Structure 1
Amino acid sequence: MPPAEIVAAAKRLHERMGKALLEEPALRLALEEYREAIRRTGDSMRACGVVAACAACAVHGPGSCCFQDIQHCYDPVHILINLLLGCEVPDMAEEFGECFFLGKAGCLLAARHAFCLNYLCPSLRESLDPDARMRLLSTVGEELDRGWKLELIIRRFISHFPG
């Protein structure tokens, strides 16, 4: 399914059941735990210089690791999670040839695919000391675990939602 269709499907899900989802106590708790895990990952990425290195590479270096095909890893539930987190998901890509979800200031999504979180290019991998890299990947792992738990709750909810 093309990314624009995935976004449209996610927005329909959000419109149809977003309020009901947010009324579920287990989902609200999982969403807040995921939001906090995302924040911790961001803090860790900033602390070890990943954010600055990636921004510099995108502006001055060989370019973005946010290749176009990664957008196909997302489905409507992944985008729905971003909508529930308050992200403004685009209806069309800003740049042709890049990931649909890549904006001028970086990724437009808060809830990102495992590849996007785990990938460290060779130069970035070399620049991080092994302990910092392990701490970062451990934090990323916690985020992915929280996201997976939230995704399961949402998929179960959708499968039992009337209509």
Structure 2
Amino acid sequence: MKELEKNKILSQIEENLYQLREIIIEENNERAKIGMTEICIDCGKSGKVCCGSAIEFKYSDELLLINLILGVNFPNQSQIPDMCFFLSPSGCCLIARDAFCINFICDKIKEKIPVDKMRRLRELEGLHLNLQLQIEQRLKRFISAYDLTAFRNYNK
């Protein structure tokens, strides 16, 4: 983080990070509005979750860094055995998530929520992923340019 601040990278991506956070908030509101959040909560209460083992390995160093910048505190250990490392009893601890996690729609949601109700959510998710990728690419260039090996293979 000190290197990001020292090299003014944070100030360069600050607006993008703000926009990303706002899009994610809007996505979450849309999920609640269409009933998706309630479906996920019900599954979680019954011990069923979509976040299987080793999904955390899909996360790039840059995406983990975005979460750190956004103030996420990573757990010290897995909280739910045989599930994604980032899954907590109250859901995913990450703010910015991998495309796989964002795009996954289970059969229960497909059955209960009509496609036309999902349209706005999918548009927001597209905006989210596009902006997130832009931020990840800028961070990747920075990490490579400054040879910040501390970030390389952080999640492996």
The question of 1:45 aligning with 2:40 is answered: no
CA displacement at 1:41 relative to structure 2: 1.0
**Contact 2:24-2:128 at 8 Å conserved across structures:** yes
TM-score scaled by length of structure 2:
0.86
Aligned pairs for 1:50-61 (under 5 A) are: 50-60=36-46
Deviates more, 1:103-112 or 1:84-93: 84-93
* Structure with the bigger percentage of helix: 1
AA partner of residue 58 (structure 1): G
Closer, same or farther: CA 21–94 of 1 in aligned 2, 3 Å: farther
Aligned to 2:151: none
**Aligned amino acid, residue 78 of structure 2:** A
Is the counterpart of residue 26 in structure 1 residue 26 in structure 2?
A: no
Partners of 2:145 and 2:99 in 1: CA distance = 27
CA RMSD in angstroms comes to 1.8
CA contact (8 A) 2:54 2:85 kept: no
Aligned residues: 148
User: Could you state the TM-score of these two structures normalised by the residue count of structure 1?
Assistant: 0.83
Q: 2-side partners of 1:103 and 1:158: how far apart? A: 29
Change (3 A) 1:126 1:85: same
Unaligned runs of 5+ in 2: 149-156
